[in-house]
C-alpha cells in the first residue's frame, strides 16, 4: 500500500514530548488570557449541563420506585400495617419478598400515588430541560462553535 507525500511526512515525525511542562502550560495560559472569561463560562456551562444530565437517571429511578411501591402495595391486604404484612409474608415462607417490602415506602392496600409520581416525573423533565438548555447555550454562544 503506497502513501502520499503528506502521509509519509507525518509518518516519519514522532510525537514530541514537552521538555518543560510547566513552561509549556504557562505559555498556553498566557495565550488564552484574552479569552479566559469566555473559557471559564464555557467550562462552567458544560459542567452544569453534565451535572443536570447525570442526575436525570437517578430521578427517573425514584419515579420507578414510586410506581413499583404502588403496584406492590395494591396487592397487599388493605387495612394491615406494613409490619403486619411483612410478618404475614414471613409466616407463609416468603422471607425474600418480606425483606424487599421492608425496604420499600408503601402502604398495604394503596396503589400508585399519582401525585408523587407526577412530582418526580416533573422534576425529571425540568432537570433534562435545564441540562439541554445549558448545553445549547454553551454550544451556540461562542464564535467559531458549530451552530446547534
Quote the pLDDT of residue 8. 59
Domain that holds residue 52: 38-140
Please indicate, yes or no, if residue 9 is contained in any of the structural domains: no
Please indicate, yes or no, if residue 1 is contained in any of the structural domains: no
Please indicate, yes or no, if residue 90 is contained in any of the structural domains: yes
Please indicate, yes or no, if residue 62 is contained in any of the structural domains: yes
CA distances from 108 to 66, 90, 102 (A): 14, 16, 12
Please indicate, yes or no, if residue 107 is contained in any of the structural domains: yes
Chunked in runs of 10, what are the mean pLDDT values of the chain (148 residues)?
A: 59 71 88 85 90 95 94 87 88 90 87 94 96 88 57
Please indicate, yes or no, if residue 117 is contained in any of the structural domains: yes
The domain total for the chain is 1
Please indicate, yes or no, if residue 96 is contained in any of the structural domains: yes
Please indicate, yes or no, if residue 15 is contained in any of the structural domains: no
User: What CA–CA distance (Å, rounded) separates 136 from 45?
Assistant: 9
Amino acid at each position: 500500500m503506497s502513501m502520499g507525500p503528506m502521509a509519509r511526512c507525518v509518518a516519519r515525525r514522532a510525537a514530541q514530548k514537552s521538555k518543560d511542562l510547566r513552561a509549556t502550560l504557562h505559555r498556553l495560559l498566557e495565550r488564552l488570557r484574552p479569552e479566559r472569561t469566555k473559557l471559564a463560562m464555557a467550562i462552567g456551562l458544560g459542567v452544569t449541563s453534565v451535572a443536570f444530565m447525570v442526575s436525570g437517571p437517578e430521578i427517573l429511578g425514584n419515579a420507578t420506585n414510586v410506581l413499583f411501591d404502588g403496584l406492590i402495595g395494591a396487592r397487599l391486604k388493605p387495612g394491615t400495617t406494613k409490619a403486619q404484612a411483612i410478618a404475614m409474608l414471613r409466616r407463609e415462607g416468603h422471607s425474600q419478598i418480606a425483606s424487599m417490602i421492608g425496604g420499600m415506602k408503601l402502604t398495604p392496600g394503596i396503589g400508585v400515588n399519582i401525585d408523587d409520581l407526577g412530582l418526580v416525573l416533573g422534576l425529571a423533565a425540568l432537570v433534562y430541560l435545564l441540562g439541554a438548555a445549558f448545553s445549547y447555550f454553551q454550544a451556540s454562544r461562542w464564535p467559531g462553535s458549530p451552530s446547534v
